[in-house]
Structure 1
Amino acid sequence: MSTTAAQAPIVTGLGVVAPTGLSAEAHWAAVLAGKPAIGRISRFDPSTYPVRLAGEVPSFVTKEQVPSRLIQQTDRWTHLGLSAAEAAIADAEVNTAELPEYELAVVTSSSSGGTEFGQHEMENLYQHNPEWVGAYQSIAWFYAATTGQVSIRHGLRGPCGVICCEQAGGLDAIGQARRLIRTGSRLVVTGGTDASLCPYGLTAQLSTGNLSTVQDPARAYLPFDTEASGYLPGEGGAMIIVESAAAAEARGAQKNYGRVLGYAAGFDPPPGSERPPSLRRTIAAALADAQLEPGAVDVVFADALGVPAEDQAEAEALAEVFGPRGVPVTAPKTLTGRLYGGGAALDVATALLSLRDQVIPHTVGPSAPAPGQDIDLVLGEPRRQELHTALVVARGHGGFNAALVLGRAG
């Protein structure tokens, strides 16, 4: 093992709350089985909207997952985040009360904050008067609400923050967690969730023009396919526990899902610019940060927007870095939809499980690869092969992009 890998932070716990399942193992089983979790939106009546399909978290009983006093004070996005954080801490078998509280940190990703809570309070304002607006409006829809609630609930009083870069934010949050480990924090709860499946949230998402309006769940989200027509939204995400290897060993940690080897972020030039998109440079920078050559990467978990021009740009970036069809590429997010602040964190959890079990999950949906996209997209069934390193790529609306390099445990 290289010196860089030996010093890299490790992931000791996973917590997943996703359309594909309420645990990491349930999610992983659904991914390997290629079990879609896309269906008609049930959280509100979508019949008057052009997009009526999404990935909803099933069977999530809030009162069983969240203390009763917090249910009325926080948004569903925070409820999902609290549940995922609780699961990740339990999975890591860490008792935070036994560790120095100021060496324990929280960094999460947020896309739109507490959208559903905010909508209800705005309805109270517009339909009645300001006296109808609850006091918790000021914090429940704030981007840092989940970070704050996780910190309070588990006594994590070290550096805490939130990254707001839409889909790319999940990787940025983990990148920040790695920085905190390097500067003295011993454990960081990081990742992200999202829950914007409400009229206000869906309307905001429609403004991008990138959502698919296809009504067939099996054909609506087809990245890298000739019939690609956009993507579908979803809710949920993942939280992970990142620790320094020394701190994990000192407390007797039993699990090691993998190592965070490299990270980089970029931002695209404005539309119409003569400068090329920055994704290729971001991927190259993440590999350089990990001190790895492109040939060392065994699988790429793609951003896979499902918009033809954006798919083409991503495919070109991957081909430029790895060579045409130079590395297997997969996009399990077709099973869940794009989860915004929670999407990249869920991809990281999936990639770590892929490294653990030495199998690349397939991409469900696409069947006719678009011409000119020279990538080795894994289709049909999972692909078993030796895996040491995975690259996760994410792009957020507005130009954000990020890349994270993960290494197999050991």
Structure 2
Amino acid sequence: MSGWSARTGSEVPPTGGRVAVVTGIGVVAPSGVGAQAHWRTVLSGQRRTGPITLFDATGYPTGLGGEVADFDPARYADNRALVQTDRWTHLGFAATTLALADAGLPQRSPDPYGWSVTLASSSGGNLFGQRELQRLWSSPTRTVGAYQSIAWFYAASVGQLSIRHQAKGPCGVLVAESAGGLDSLAHAVRTVRRGASVVLAGATECPLSPYALACQLRSGLLSEVTDPERAYRPFDAAASGYLPAEGGAVFVVEELAHARARGARIYGEVTGWGATHDAVHTSADSCGDPRQYARAMRLALGRAGVEPGEVDLVVPDALGAPRYDRAEAVALRAVFGARTPPVSTHKELTGRAHQGGSALDVATALLAYAHDTLPASAGPGTVADGCELGFLRAPRRPRTRVALICARGFDGFNSALVLRGAAPAGGEQ
């Protein structure tokens, strides 16, 4: 799977001669609205988790999460679209608007059948569905609103964005929980190779409703620590589980010749990916299969034509549950040996946004190369036994501009993505 080289700017086309590159990044997350706001949070190491305010979580064992502060959806969509959709889709409206603006593309496609949408989703419109079902069972009318079926549906954001931006090419939704954010980018590359000029890829999430929180609590993997500074600490001796979060990132994935013809800035290329499955349901005692997880990483590296020693940044899944963290460390050491490349994670700053979180990790890696800086990991403070990895303790310049992004989804999904970042434009630091 060789392709456009970020190091040399040369073209080594894959089969069919079409290369897919990332030209736009849109972030809407607890770390901030906009790619640069997110990057500033990553560099500062400032935690953006706190008490959940989207509903009253007082009676729940977990009352903390990551919310997008001061988010005004009316800036990104008209009232008609907003009343028909869930906050999860509102976040998608915003992230896509920002990604297209960042790429220098119009908000409506001038070539509708050349544009596609491929996003990931986990559970759909939780807040909208919660409200309508409460009305169904508590109101004398025993009815739900006309938009219940389309707002809660897991493919709602893909459909809405396709309509809004006139992207009438092949569209789809990937469902693999947290792993889906990486799968969407892999599918976007395939879609470009099959003829699309522009694909909107990535994911957003909003799992902060009574129903969604109850579902997550059932897994036993949420942190019940009440101090936001201590609640979510992946790979740390004090790790106690994760905090839920909303948000994510959307990307413009574009065919290279199309991007060059209009003089677009290029962030980098997805050069390899791998996806495997444990074939085992997540249970109270499970921790994922490190063999299958490592296999996904090896597949991604092999398809990218990258040796393990060429990787200069690993962004892990970082669930924050001790047994899962140890299993992830086992998988990484199986691929890289005792001395892993620099490992950097920032989920403890934002919370875990499921498929939106893995998309956000991709944004972090691409921004790191755009700014010529590998950011220090937000943690751990005291590394837990069995989690000894090469955590990046201070920012440094990239060596090879090759990153491996890893993600796992509940019930056995494993995905890995290899990115090759472009050199920073104009020497930006």
Asked whether the two chains share a fold, i.e. TM above 0.5, the reply is yes
Letter in 2 for 1:376: G
2:298 is aligned with 1:284: yes
**Deviation string, structure 1 residues 275-323 (Cα, Å, up to 9, x no partner):** 7641000000000110111111110001011111111111111111111
Distance in 1 between the 2:140 and 2:273 partners?
A: 47
Given candidates 302, 309, 325, the residue that maps to 1:295 is 309
2:392 is aligned with 1:378: yes
**Deviation string, structure 1 residues 152-183 (Cα, Å, up to 9, x no partner):** 01110000011111111100111110110111
1:53 is matched with: 64
Given candidates 59, 64, 82, the residue that maps to 1:71 is 82
Letter in 1 for 2:420: G
Q: Is the 8 A contact 1:12 1:253 kept in 2?
A: no
Distance in 2 between the 1:21 and 1:273 partners?
A: 31
Q: Is the 8 A contact 2:23 2:254 kept in 1?
A: yes
> Residue 329 of structure 1 aligns to a residue in which SS?
coil
Distance in 2 between the 1:248 and 1:274 partners?
A: 39
- Structure 2: runs of 5+ lacking an equivalent: 6-10, 14-18, 424-429
1:38 is matched with: 49
2:372 is matched with: 358
Letter in 2 for 1:222: R
Given candidates 225, 241, 252, the residue that maps to 1:230 is 241
Distance in 2 between the 1:9 and 1:124 partners?
A: 46
Letter in 2 for 1:307: A
1:268 is matched with: 278
2:227 is matched with: 216
Matching of residues 2-401 of structure 1 within 5 Å: 3=3, 5=5, 6=11, 7=13, 8-95=19-106, 97=108, 99-128=110-139, 131-250=142-261, 252-270=262-280, 277-379=291-393, 381-401=394-414
> Residue 35 of structure 1 aligns to a residue in which SS?
coil
Deviation (angstroms), 1:225:
1.1
Letter in 2 for 1:366: P
Distance in 1 between the 2:179 and 2:191 partners?
A: 19
Range 363-372 or range 283-292, more displaced: 363-372
Distance in 2 between the 1:273 and 1:316 partners?
A: 11
> Residue 32 of structure 2 aligns to a residue in which SS?
coil
Distance in 2 between the 1:48 and 1:98 partners?
A: 47
**Deviation string, structure 1 residues 115-136 (Cα, Å, up to 9, x no partner):** 0000000001111256531010
Letter in 2 for 1:260: V
Deviation (angstroms), 1:268:
1.1
Q: Is the 8 A contact 1:394 1:401 kept in 2?
A: yes
Range 215-224 or range 265-274, more displaced: 265-274
**Deviation string, structure 1 residues 48-102 (Cα, Å, up to 9, x no partner):** 0000110100110122222110111000000000110011011111136564211
Distance in 1 between the 2:280 and 2:333 partners?
A: 23
RMSD, aligned CA: 1.9
- Aligned pair count? 408
**Deviation string, structure 1 residues 237-260 (Cα, Å, up to 9, x no partner):** 00000011111112x132111111
2:16 is matched with: none
Distance in 2 between the 1:305 and 1:275 partners?
A: 14
**Deviation string, structure 1 residues 33-57 (Cα, Å, up to 9, x no partner):** 1111011111112110000110100
Letter in 2 for 1:144: A
Letter in 2 for 1:404: L
Deviation (angstroms), 1:359:
1.7
Distance in 2 between the 1:100 and 1:274 partners?
A: 43
2:426 is matched with: none
Structure 1 pair 219–365 and aligned structure 2 pair: CA distance change class (3 A): farther
> Residue 113 of structure 2 aligns to a residue in which SS?
helix
> Residue 276 of structure 2 aligns to a residue in which SS?
strand
Letter in 1 for 2:197: R
Deviation (angstroms), 1:30:
0.8
> Residue 156 of structure 1 aligns to a residue in which SS?
coil
Distance in 2 between the 1:195 and 1:57 partners?
A: 10
Distance in 1 between the 2:108 and 2:378 partners?
A: 42
- Structure 1: runs of 5+ lacking an equivalent: none
% of aligned pairs identical? 48
Range 226-235 or range 126-135, more displaced: 126-135
Structure 1 pair 42–279 and aligned structure 2 pair: CA distance change class (3 A): same
Q: Is the 8 A contact 1:263 1:286 kept in 2?
A: yes
Structure 1 pair 320–66 and aligned structure 2 pair: CA distance change class (3 A): same
2:403 is aligned with 1:403: no
Structure 1 pair 343–275 and aligned structure 2 pair: CA distance change class (3 A): closer
Distance in 2 between the 1:275 and 1:374 partners?
A: 18
